[in-house]
Amino acid sequence: MAKPLLMLLWLITSSILVVSEGQSGTLSVLQAPTEVAIRLARDPQSLSEGSTDFGHIIHKHPVAIMNPASTSDISVLIKFSNSLDIPFSVAARGEAHSVNGQSMAFGGVVVNMSCFRNNNGGSSSSGGIFVTEKTAAPGDYVDVGGGQRWIDVLHETMKRGLSPRSWTDYLYLTVGGTLSNAGISGQTFRFGPQIQNVYELDVVTGKGEEVTCSREINSDLFYAVLGGLGQFGIITRARIALGPAPTRVKWLRLLYNDFSVLSADQERLISMNESVEKNIPNYVEGSLLLNQSSMDLSFYPQTDRPRITSLVHQNGIVYVLELAEYYTNDSQTTIDKEVEELISGLKFVASFNFEKDVSYEEFLDRVHTDELVLRPQGLWDLPHPWLNMFVPKSRITDFNEGVFKGILLKQNISTGVVLVYPVNGNKWDDRMSAMIPSEDVFYVVSLLHTSRFDEVEAYQKLNQMVLQFCAESGIQIKQYLPLNMTRKQWVDHFGAKWSLFEQRKAQYDPKRILSPGQGIFNVNNK
């Protein structure tokens, strides 16, 4: 029997089974047109994958996983759902590196965007990666399928000596997934988040329409989708700005025992203007070393670890400024002098500056290097009750006192990686859906906890304490990758943009089909 026919027969039989379980969405999904039905998988392994993410906290079961062969398959699926009296939900799944079920679709269909990965060499609408032929100049770009991972984009563009300019810390995330949030890292202060570095998108809207959009055409959809948490359409192609790729990186960590000294130095670095100062950093981040048993000192030379540990013991918290200066073979002779000049005015604890010289790819792919160490120990696939926030610059000192010193340091559980670094608000476009505080400079603060399965609740309580402290102290944070918000909290999150966000939902996804796992419009899904 032909494979599609077999699959259809299997789908029909399993629908009887599931309907008897009382899931009302099941039958409707299984009545999909044949061209869609043959793309649906309902085997236990696929369903289990579709109800899991990097958080390992939420599990919501879809009725089926779609493995689309083309963007029009996605369009037909969404149009079919729209045609029903009770539509089923649809969620694009990039790599499911969300931590709170955002890429799940309870009782609906999860669209496996990784299907398009092997299409390099086809047409740009088939989801591959296509770099323009021009040499490095303003205007160079790469056309990338929405399901492509940033690591593959890096490899393809580097073959032409080009590279995207704005990154995330980890590259095994998908283009559609990060563009639905913002996509931030140490380059954001200079080039803006990844959503700022997009020229054009192909989107399948929540009505199933296939639309190309940019700042010039269908601009409202373009701005809606960027940072839009998957609410308005599924990104099937993105045109991403490129610049020349460097070859190597001076990667530095400087240690501070005083938060206000660290933040003054960070703010000075991100305020540097490339048209005035010739030597400005390519990347600025920061993190904490807390006096806890699980300090990660792997970056530092073995011989220096004892003195770093004793600095942390003395101070309780040591603050780390992380910097990168890119260079090419041409600038090999001058780079050391440039780095020396760059750090000469910085007020880190004397002699606590550390440097590595690595390839550009090694630098960008640094978190994957950690993943390769953690995975075999079973430490990568543990729950991740993360909390990510943007904190206004005017209150970051209070945040340090109340959260870093007041809450994190006093807890009896290991906090894992804690990031803190400032970015420039003027590098964000307010017409996009992503939300940031209203100050010129704000801090990215990420509490990247890794938890045992029996500790999740304790971490969630810790996160609640942090949010409560901010609320009670009047620190107007915005959550990044927001989680577990009530309707009122979502309205507050979007503030003056809420009515536009709601209007856009009514326009592009009137039946509220897309990305229910975000819990914005489909609260019952959470």
Catalytic residues: 97, 169, 285
- Pick 264 or 417: Cβ nearer ligand FAD: 417
Give the contact letters, 465-504, x = binds to ligand FAD (CB under 6 A), - = no.
----------------x-----------------------
Q: Give CA–CA dist 382/456, Å, rounded.
A: 10
- Contacting residue, 46, 174, 287, 463, with ligand FAD by CB under 6 A: 174
| Cα–Cα nearest to 241, from 339, 137, 149 | 137
- Output helix, strand, coil percentages for the chain, rounded to the nearest 5: 40, 20, 40
204 binds ligand FAD (CB under 6 A): no
Contact flag: residue 95 with ligand FAD (CB under 6 A) = yes
Q: Pick between residue 157 and residue 174 the one whose CB is nearest to ligand FAD.
A: 174
Instruction: Confirm or reject binding of residue 173 to ligand FAD (CB under 6 A).
Output: yes
**Residue count at the site for ligand FAD (CB under 6 A)?**
36
SS (H, E, C) 34-52: HHHHCCEECCHHHHHHHCC
186 binds ligand FAD (CB under 6 A): no
**515 lines the binding site for ligand FAD (CB under 6 A):** yes
Select from 70, 71, 185, 433 the one that contacts ligand FAD (CB under 6 A).
185
Stretch near ligand FAD under the rule CB under 6 A, chosen from 97-105, 242-250, 358-366, 461-469? 97-105
Bridge-based pairing of strands 90-93 and 64-66 is unpaired
User: Minimal distance in Å, beta carbon 229 to ligand FAD?
Assistant: 6
Nearest 5°: CA angle at 183, between 166 and 510?
135
Closest distance of CB 26 from ligand FAD, Å: 20
Q: Does residue 263 interact with ligand FAD by CB under 6 A?
A: no
Q: Is residue 271 exposed (0-12), middle (13-18) or buried (19+ Cβ within 10 Å)?
A: middle
Q: Which two tokens stand for residue 7?
A: 């699959």
Does residue 115 belong to the site contacting ligand FAD (CB under 6 A)? Answer: no
Quick one: which of 460, 518, 522, 525 contacts ligand FAD (CB under 6 A)? Answer: 518
Q: With binding defined as CB under 6 A, does residue 234 bind ligand FAD?
A: yes
257 touches 290 (CB < 8 A): no
Positive or negative torsion for Cα 14, 15, 19, 24: positive
- Across-strand partners of 321? 254, 286
Closer to ligand FAD by CB, 348 or 480: give it.
480
Which of these ranges, 181-189, 209-217, 260-268, 290-298, lies near ligand FAD under the rule CB under 6 A?
181-189
Write the CA distances from 262 to 204, 235, 269, 346, 395, integer angstroms. Answer: 45, 39, 11, 9, 15
- What Cα–Cα distance (Å) separates residue 251 from each residue in 248, 284, 323, 496, 516? 9, 10, 6, 40, 40
Does 181 contact ligand FAD by CB under 6 A? yes
Say how far apart CA 11 and CA 99 lie, in whole Å.
30
Residues that bind ligand FAD (CB under 6 A): 54, 91-98, 102-103, 113, 146, 168-170, 173-174, 176-178, 180-185, 229-230, 234-235, 367, 481, 515, 517-518
